[in-house]
């Protein structure tokens, strides 16, 4: 069993999409990350949930757009290899996604990156909606 925090079952990662989770970096910055399917072993890879060309989220809560093993930037259409993180087209050409190290054991994905601490499933803005103590109703 890897030394790390369990994120999810490998089966929870969609075949054409992503699994969104949140982490904290060594400077206590909260970040979003995604697990995506990859043809190479161990079958998934994890990346920070941002295009390196512009601060654009790939997964906004409903999965990252993917095609033929590539993550599609929703703003400019640049394509990033899901296994390697490299981009060869569009405005982000020549850049690479920022990796988050994971390991797979017994069908589960574990966060094993010393630079990040697992916070929760889902994105940073995922909550149960605004809370209010107001007595007004509409």
pLDDT in tens, the chain (138 residues): 788 999 999 999 999 999 999 999 999 999 999 999 999 999 999 999 999 998 899 999 999 999 999 999 999 999 999 999 999 999 999 999 999 999 999 999 999 999 999 999 999 986 544 444 444 444
How far is Cα 102 from Cα 110, in angstroms, rounded to an integer? Answer: 5
Rounded to a whole number of angstroms, the CA Rg of the chain reads 16
How far is Cα 49 from Cα 57, in angstroms, rounded to an integer? Answer: 5
Query: By C-alpha distance, which of 101, 123, 110 is closest to 31?
Result: 123
Could you tell me the pTM of the whole model?
0.88
How far is Cα 22 from Cα 37, in angstroms, rounded to an integer? Answer: 18
């Amino acid at each position: 069993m890897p030394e790390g925090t369990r994120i999810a079952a490998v089966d929870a990662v969609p075949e054409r999409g992503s699994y969104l989770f949140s982490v904290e970096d060594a400077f206590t910055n909260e970040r979003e990350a995604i697990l995506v399917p990859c043809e190479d072993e161990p079958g998934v890879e994890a990346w920070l949930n941002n295009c390196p060309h512009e601060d654009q989220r790939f997964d906004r809560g409903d999965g990252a757009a993917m095609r033929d093993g590539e993550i599609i930037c929703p703003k400019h259409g640049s394509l990033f290899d899901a296994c390697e993180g490299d981009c060869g087209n569009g405005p982000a050409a020549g850049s690479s996604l920022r990796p988050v190290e994971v390991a797979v054991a017994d069908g589960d994905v574990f966060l094993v990156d010393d630079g990040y601490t697992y916070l929760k499933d889902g994105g940073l803005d995922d909550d149960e909606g605004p809370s209010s103590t107001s007595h007004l109703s509409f």
